[in-house]
Amino acid sequence: MFDYTGQIVQATAGRDKDGIFCVVGVDQERAMLLLADGKRRKVAHPKAKRPGHVRALADENQACGCPAVQKLKQGEPLSDRELRRALAAFKGGNHTWQRTI
């Protein structure tokens, strides 16, 4: 399974449908993405979701500009506050295109 860590995605199924999350890890064994938003879903207890139930909102090049995403990719610990700020900055920008993972 491809490593989606650091990508910003939108849930397309479930009770958190239309929520914006960041992929904080990948469960290779179960083929699930681990999603967190820093508020409802903390980094310490991420939501497991299948890749088909999310839609990517930003490609890796767009998301890599964010310091929080860079920390995730380097394997450094990320606080919920940093994640919330990164997602708020993403939501504030003009990202009109979307693609399916």
pLDDT of residue 70: 85
**20 Cβ partners below 8 Å, 6+ apart?**
8, 9, 10, 37, 57, 87, 90, 91
| β-sheet with 8-11: strand ranges across | 47-49, 32-36, 20-27, 8-11, 54-56, 99-100
pTM here is: 0.82
pLDDT of residue 96: 41
| DSSP symbol at 97 | -
pLDDT of residue 60: 56
Domain boundaries along the sequence of the chain:
8-85
Residue-wise pLDDT tens digits, 61-87 = 555 567 888 888 888 889 999 999 989
- Cross-strand partners of 20: 10
